[in-house]
Amino acid sequence: MDAARRHRFLITLNFAAVYVLWGSTYLAIRYGVLDLPPALMAGTRFAVAGLLMFAWLLWRRQPLPPVRTLGPIALTGMLLLFGGNFLVTWAEITVPSGTAAVIIANLPFFMTGLEALRRDGERLSWLGVAGLIIGFTGMLILMWPKITAQGVAFGQFRGELALLGANLCWATGSIYSKHNVKGVAPLMAVALEMLIAGCALLLLGLIMGEAPHYQMTPRAAVAVGWLIVAGSLCGYSAFIWLLNHVPAAKVSTYAYVNPVIAVFLGWLFLAEPIDWRMAVGTLVILGGVAAVNAARVRLRT
């Protein structure tokens, strides 16, 4: 196989990893929280994945990051994983995995909105504003049965609100990392972020009294193992590789595919319903994502 064909093959392989493996993590989280408390489950996932990646990087003689970067690395890990991923894990106690993935697909809206608030950030174009409105409409379609239900209470939306909070944490952490975590090998930063956030989540779980409920059943072990290997090690490594070999606009297409994979797997394995409202809401949100991403690409050109 010549170099060009090998490169194309690696691009295809890594896109498949990001599309399918990341899309499957919502199902794995849903299975995991059936048996494990959310903070200790997420903490186990990231502490183990971070330790494995850190040990591998040391074996590869990857240099340690400068001391001055440890603060930004820690804050990034706390925003992305302690805040963002833990909220997704907690939300999936009550929210179906497919619905969770579709709500998380709103992430580009948060990224665009926060970037527009920065003094030197990209301004929102008319197409970006239209995308935000379309995405909000899709959210209303998904949540309409709860909004119109008799005796509706704020607590009924705690899972959906947690997912929106996860998007806010992930968007804030991503933008902060982009401008503040510099001079560090990307995978070394990821390994330390997972280690720091994983240990913090384990401590949170102990403080919340989750330890007595931590029962690593075979089903939970498979779910956590899949999250460690497929989600954190393989999926994220593929994502980082793509960012260094493919334009970011193409890499961002995972935002369209992950929800579709998650909805399909949730239907296949957990019998999560796919009714007309779910289908329409998903298509509307992904349409909004497409508009926002198109606006961001146009601004950069």
Which 3-state string (H, E, C) describes 134-152?
HHHHHHHHHHHHHHCCCCC
Mean pLDDT of 71-100: 94
pLDDT digits (tens, 9 = 90+) for 98-111: 889 888 888 877 87
Count of alpha carbons within 13 angstroms of residue 214, beta-carbon side: 16
Say how many residues make up the chain.
301
Tell me what the pLDDT averaged over the chain comes to.
86
Cα 94 from Cα 266, distance rounded (Å): 14
- The confidence score (pLDDT) of residue 80 equals 92
pLDDT computed for residue 123 by the predictor: 66
**256-291 tens-digit pLDDT:** 788 888 989 999 999 988 888 888 888 888 887 777
Say what percent of the chain tops pLDDT 70.
Answer: 91
Q: What is the pLDDT of residue 146?
A: 66
DSSP state of 247: -
pLDDT tens profile 136-180 = 788 778 777 766 664 555 557 889 899 999 999 988 988 888 888
- For residue 298, the tally of other CB atoms under 10 A from its CB is 11
d(Cα 264, Cα 24) in Å, to the nearest integer?
A: 10
pLDDT at 296: 58
Q: What letters, b where the CB count within 10 A reaches 16 and e where it falls short, cover 138-158? A: bbebbbeeeeeeeeeeeeebe
Those residues with Cβ within 8 angstroms of residue 99's Cβ, 6 or more apart along the chain or in another chain:
142, 272, 278
* Digit-coded pLDDT (tens) for 51-68: 999 999 999 999 999 999
Of 11-25, 66-80, 243-257, which range is least confident? Answer: 243-257
C-alpha 40/C-alpha 51 separation (Å) is: 16
Identity of the amino acid at 246: V
Report pLDDT digits (tens) over 9-35: 888 888 888 888 999 999 999 999 999
pLDDT band, very low/low/confident/very high, at 240 (cuts 50, 70, 90)? confident
Cβ–Cβ under 8 Å, residues 186 and 35: no
